[in-house]
Chains A and B, each alone.
Chain A
Amino acid sequence: MSESPKEKVVAARNLSKIFPHGGEDVVALDKIDIDIYKGEFVALMGPSGSGKSTLLHIVAGIDRPTSGELEVLGDPIADLSESQLSTWRNHHVGFVFQSFNLIPVLTAQENVEMPLLLTSLNKKERREHVETVLRIVGLTDRMTHYPRQLSGGQEQRVAIARALVGDPDLILADEPTGDLDAHSAEEIMTVLQKLNEDHGKTVIMVTHDPRTAHYSSITRHLDKGKMLPVGEPGSQE
């Protein structure tokens, strides 16, 4: 990106997450501060247990912080009810999982259509949206295939299409290449990069693979629940 966008998409202050585990408290996030702006492609890196996935889940509204302040797209999502959060996620977030999480009994097209069934779009409009995003990920010829009939890379592309179909403001990806071979991983990262650069989508991606992180515009490191300052060894911007 040649120019820094100014609109804040994520603003977290003193964000903490503590899990009770075996009678003790485990600190997954320890007073994290982070700002992410519109149009950025941020990679969150760190070793296992560093809290990067926990942070992503909290930003996605699928987990709640123990303390701290968090605004995503201007909404204080920690204060929303479960039902409100469901609607908020449907409207604003596209989530890409490591193991794709496609519904095995539905075709690629039906999987991609699932988020749209919650909108007011009619069947024809939904079909048009689904075809558009499957074209973006290059899978128009696999629309009627079931997940078991697709390769890992194709499954992940369907999952990206599903994340994209509702035209969300924010795409969150949790180790999107973790279950893929090198070639498929490259394809997926190219798609995500294209979404960021050509379609202006803000992307936050968790990864432990430096080659994958290389596709992002910003890399932030976490360690033992803390966000390392920009410029620390291993951190770059």
Chain B
Amino acid sequence: MIIPLQYNLRYLRTRWTGTLITAVTFGLVVAVFVIVMALAQGLDRAFVTTGDPLNLLIMRPGVQSEMQSSVSIDRYQIIRTLKGIATGADGEPIVAPEVLVVVNKPKLPDGGKSNLQVRGIDLKTLELRPQVRIVEGRMYEPGLREVIASRLVSKRFQGFRLGDTPIFGGGTWTVVGLFDGAGTAYDSEVWCDYEELQQEFDRRGGYSTVVARATDPAAAAALARTIDEDPRLKLEVKTEVQYYSEQTETSRPLKLFGTFLATVMAIGACFAGMNTMYGNVASRAKEIGTLRVLGYTPFSIVLCFVFESVLLALIGGIFGCLVSLPMNWVTTGTTNFQTFSEVVFQFAVTPRLMTIALGFAVVMGVVGGLLPAVSAARRPIIDCLSKV
């Protein structure tokens, strides 16, 4: 009892101007939906891909971010002696103290200021985070006021290109290398020697966090338990994966905003679709009557027009996805309200997101087409046939 697909397809082609206008309306809604969600997804991805399950982040209990944490030097020394920590090629435990500060720096291109996270690291950090690699210049020299900046930071902040000499904490530093953080949260950071940073910001009493690498997952769990229970330490342990997953809370307002925006626009698009479909129904009243005379049931008429509306929305959806696809390579930033520093990340227009967007388009098509379709099916045949 289904009216053939070619009937709908040829109508959409014949009335191509109306088809185009409505499809573009649907497409713009889908594009906004995809772009906002790609923003939120990109932000999530920056955090989610950052952590390593074997890396344990040791912090002061109850804090929400590394920035609020502090670990004393003597506790760091105790941690180094614990069992279950992997050893590096030099036979030393892979444990690294880290110092985090935030500096306020002008952004490119307009000079508006934003907080930038500077991470003081130990050279052991490179063993903990092998995904980070120098792509230009060289590694900083310990004991010198040298920094390496992520390539994305060098593009978004003034004074962090290779060879620049940014000033922060009162001292002048030199950018000696650029690194690629492989899409992780480290892409939003500048790294330097932790001892230099301690001196510059007068943090000689301790570190922000200590990161330790466990030999295996079982050892990671055991190590976390040992640190939790050791009365000398009084520290909290999270795996990096756990910590950065918690940071994805940052994207929640964006997701809510995106959903709200897309919903409001979708309602508008549904009305546009409805308007087009009411127009189609009105101009094809005689054909609807004819189809009914030929034996097509009211239900098949509903299916026919809903299907046409869905087709229209799908064309728009595909257009919207194509329009938003180039955003995949755009870098942007937002404030992480856990650390009050800028998170730099890339939009993530993924196949999954596009599938969801097309599903969203189908829903808009059904909603936009249903009422006109039902009105078409319910109209008496004689009324339909009498339309000129």
Contact with A along B1-45 (1 / 0, CB 8 A): 111101100110010000000000000000000000000000000
A residues within 8 A CB of B4?
Answer: 110, 117
User: Which A residues from 108 to 129 make CB contacts under 8 A with B?
Assistant: 110, 114-115, 117-118
Interface CB pairs A-B, < 8 A, 23: A60-B293, A62-B293, A62-B382, A63-B382, A82-B298, A83-B297, A87-B295, A89-B294, A90-B294, A91-B295, A95-B293, A95-B294, A101-B286, A103-B290, A104-B14, A105-B7, A105-B10, A105-B11, A105-B14, A115-B294, A117-B2, A118-B294, A118-B295
Q: Which residues of B contact A86 (CB under 8 A)?
A: 292, 295-298
B residues 285-339 with Cβ under 8 Å of A?
286-287, 289-299
The interface residues of chain A lying within 8 Å CB-to-CB of B297 are 82-83, 86-87
Question: How many pairs of residues, A versus B, come closer than 8 Å at their CB atoms?
Answer: 64
Does B103 sit within 8 A of A, measured CB to CB?
no
Q: Mark contacts of A51-90 with chain B using CB atoms, 8 A cut-off: 1 yes-contact digit, 0 otherwise.
A: 0000001001011000000000000000000110011011
7 further A-B contacts with Cβ under 8 Å, apart from A101-B290, A118-B1, A118-B294, are A82-B297, A86-B295, A87-B295, A90-B294, A91-B295, A106-B7, A162-B294
For residue A215, CB closer than 8 A to chain B, the reply is: no
Q: Known contacts A57-B382, A118-B1: does B286 contact A110 (CB below 8 Å)? A: no
B10/A89 in contact, CB under 8 A: no
A residues at B contact (CB < 8 Å): 57, 60, 62-63, 82-83, 86-87, 89-91, 95, 97, 101, 103-106, 110, 114-115, 117-118, 162
In the complex, chain B residues whose CB is within 8 Å of the CB of A87: 295, 297
A114 contacts which chain B residues (CB < 8 A)? Answer: 291, 294
**Is chain A's binding surface mostly helix, strand, loop or mixed?**
helix
Least CB distance, A126 to chain B, in whole angstroms? 11
Q: Does B371 contact A (CB under 8 A)?
A: no
Tell me what chain B mostly uses at the interface: helix, strand, loop, or mixed: helix
Say yes or no for B385: interface residue by CB 8 A criterion: yes
Chain A residue contacts of B10, Cβ below 8 A: 105-106
CA distance A171 to B380 in the complex (A): 21
B374 within 8 A of A: no
The minimal Cβ–Cβ distance linking B315 to chain A, given in whole angstroms, is 17
B381 interface contact, C-beta 8 A:
yes
Q: Given B1, B11, B295, B385, which contacts A89 in the complex, CB threshold below 8 Å? A: B295
In the A-B complex, the 4 residue pairs with the closest CB atoms: A90-B295, A105-B10, A101-B290, A62-B381
Contact status B6-A106, CB under 8 Å: yes
Are A89 and B293 interface neighbours, CB within 8 A? yes
Type the 1/0 row for B162-204, where 1 means its CB is closer than 8 Å to any CB of A.
0000000000000000000000000000000000000000000
